[in-house]
Structure 1
Amino acid sequence: MQYQAVVRKIGPAQDVVEIERTALPTLRRDQVRVRLLARSINPSDIITISGAYAGRTTLPFIPGFEAFGVVEACGEEVHGLSPGTRVLPVRSAGGWQEFKDTDPSWCLRVPEALSDFEAATSYVNPMTAWLMLHEKIGLRPGMRIAVNAAASSIGSILIGLANAGGVEPVAIVRSEQSLQRLHGRLEAVIIDRANGDLAAGLAGRHGLDAVLDCVGGARAGLLADALRPGGHFVHYGLLSGQSIPNSFWASHPDMTFSFFHLREWVHSEAMGDVQHAYCDVAAQIASKIIATEVREVFPLENIRQALQSALPFRTGGKVLLA
């Protein structure tokens, strides 16, 4: 038997996620069973539970895109993995349970240098940050970039990686409280409390090479205004809950615009390439260039309390299920 967090109807996560006890199925010959030890609660989990990706979500389902564990057992046709191997099973949800049966080729090997909690937070935000900086905008020393939600978990990672690459970002936050959580070397800090704050803060800071935006909404236009001609605008989140307005693209015809979603990248790449990128990220975590604050840890069976603590995601630090 095992505990599972199950969603049987779409809605607010703290209302619709239920804990159930269920028997373990027979392990398929071509799969591995991973005993999960630590799991993150991420915005992507909550967005999926709310129904934002209803077209690719079949009810009921077990949430959780980021979970770390060890191989518990291998099917008879599995080669290259053995019990005890530390892994992150990716490419699908299902992390909010005690055991996950999965395709062995979808298991990223986790180095011994990472602690269990570091491993449980080593995938969604660090991989997204690394790929946006190195694959999307081609980070190089001396670039000028802006990062909003800069005091968030992924904002902190972006700043750390940018500093390691010889770049000091413009950090955009929403409050004095967020300002106090900033770390790293920064070109400037803008506190975006009201409509005029962001425009005033960016005045005189035009000529940015890139903007990394996870907020969306009308402020995206103000950020794009600060780009140099041909500058890169990468949109990877919607914390405001508001889409970028249609006028945004017509008003900025000379920018380079792209979306980034880790799930789409992982599903489009060979797993060998995904593992290679993950090894680069894991090395940054082991060397403390990337660090994720863990704010609270709850047992899986206390999922409701964990969700109440995690939401909204403005408080800082990750909430884990372990």
Structure 2
Amino acid sequence: MVGRRVLPLRGEGTWQTYVDCPAHHAVEVPDTVPDIVAARAYINPMAAATMLRLWPARGKVVLLSGAGSSCAEHLGRWAIAHGATRVMGLYRSESRKDRLRQVGIEPISTQDLSAISKASALADIAFDSLGGDIGTHVLQGMRGEANFVAYGLLTGKPVTTGAGVRARYHRFHMRDHFTVLAGLGMQAAFSDIWPLLEGAPPAEPRVFPAQQWQDALAEAERPGGQKPILDFCSLN
């Protein structure tokens, strides 16, 4: 792969100019995928693709919590591409609403508990990245044959499962699937992801020179802020 663009996966550390990783974890990037897309092609896209393989969306109504996040957008857009009949997304910041509509996800405010209850009752699959009160509200409102997939804990609080819950509760963590993916080969694992990223690339990030890492962190924490990318080429 000398002279080729690659994603160096599972190397030691992060935010670095050079990465030392096993050769079989250096995934070649197709020429048709821009650097700015390839740089974000690992954790969130891999998690979204893996979840949609485990819980297929074709013909299903899908509900996303934390819908303004990168992983949730991948889930929503790819669920639509896979044949979901409807995708709804719970958002907190009003700045996210237009983007959700733009990519085909029906926006529902986390402040509108009545609308969340209706959406939960309709959903065949819920992918929850929030946990806490919202995740619990969604889980408790779902039908018995529905699937609730907990893959994040952005509120810092767990989902309450107990009496009255009818839906099937599943926990998902990407690290639980690394062994299987490594056995298949990372190149094979990415063979399905590259076309999806080409057809539905993530929202444009804001690129910062590596020296401006504090500004990048501030952008990440700013309500409605763009996803920041650090450019280490600026150090050369």
TM over 0.5: yes
Equivalent residue, structure 1, for 2:205: 295
Q: What is the identity, as a one-letter code, of the residue corresponding to 2:115? A: G
Give structure 2 stretches of 5+ with no counterpart: 232-236
The match for 1:103 among 6, 9, 22 is 22
1:95-174 aligned at under 5 Å gives the runs 95-135=14-54, 137-140=55-58, 142-167=59-84, 168-174=86-92
Against the structure 1 CA distance between its residues 269 and 158, is the aligned structure 2 distance closer, same or farther, given a 3 Å change threshold?
A: closer
Secondary structure in structure 2 of the residue aligned to 1:102: coil
TM-score by length of 1: 0.65
TM-score by length of 2: 0.87
Against the structure 1 CA distance between its residues 91 and 230, is the aligned structure 2 distance closer, same or farther, given a 3 Å change threshold?
A: farther
Secondary structure in structure 1 of the residue aligned to 2:47: helix
Measure how far apart 1:169 and its partner are: 0.8
- RMSD of aligned Cα (Å): 2.0
Higher helix share: 2
The match for 2:214 among 292, 304, 314 is 304
Q: What is the identity, as a one-letter code, of the residue corresponding to 1:119? A: A
Secondary structure in structure 2 of the residue aligned to 1:105: helix
Give structure 1 stretches of 5+ with no counterpart: 1-81
Equivalent residue, structure 2, for 1:178: 96
Q: Does 1:266 align with 2:178?
A: yes
1:1-322 aligned at under 5 Å gives the runs 82-135=1-54, 137-140=55-58, 142-167=59-84, 168-182=86-100, 183-186=102-105, 188-193=106-111, 197-198=112-113, 200-205=114-119, 206-245=121-160, 248-252=161-165, 254-286=166-198, 288-289=199-200, 291-311=201-221, 314-322=223-231
Measure how far apart 1:229 and its partner are: 1.0
Larger radius of gyration: 1
Secondary structure in structure 1 of the residue aligned to 2:192: helix
Contact 2:89 2:108 in 1 (8 A): yes
Mapped to 1, the partners of 2:172 and 2:139 lie a distance apart of 17
Mapped to 2, the partners of 1:316 and 1:261 lie a distance apart of 26
Measure how far apart 1:239 and its partner are: 1.4
Q: Give every structure 1 segment of 4 or more consecutive aligned residues whose post-TM-superposition deviation is greater than 4 Å.
A: none
Secondary structure in structure 2 of the residue aligned to 1:91: coil
Equivalent residue, structure 2, for 1:32: none
Counting matched residue pairs gives 228
Secondary structure in structure 2 of the residue aligned to 1:111: coil
Measure how far apart 1:268 and its partner are: 4.2
Cα deviation, 1:52-71, whole Å, max 9, x if unaligned, reads: xxxxxxxxxxxxxxxxxxxx
Measure how far apart 1:93 and its partner are: 4.8
Higher strand share: 1
Mapped to 2, the partners of 1:105 and 1:273 lie a distance apart of 8
Mapped to 1, the partners of 2:217 and 2:184 lie a distance apart of 34
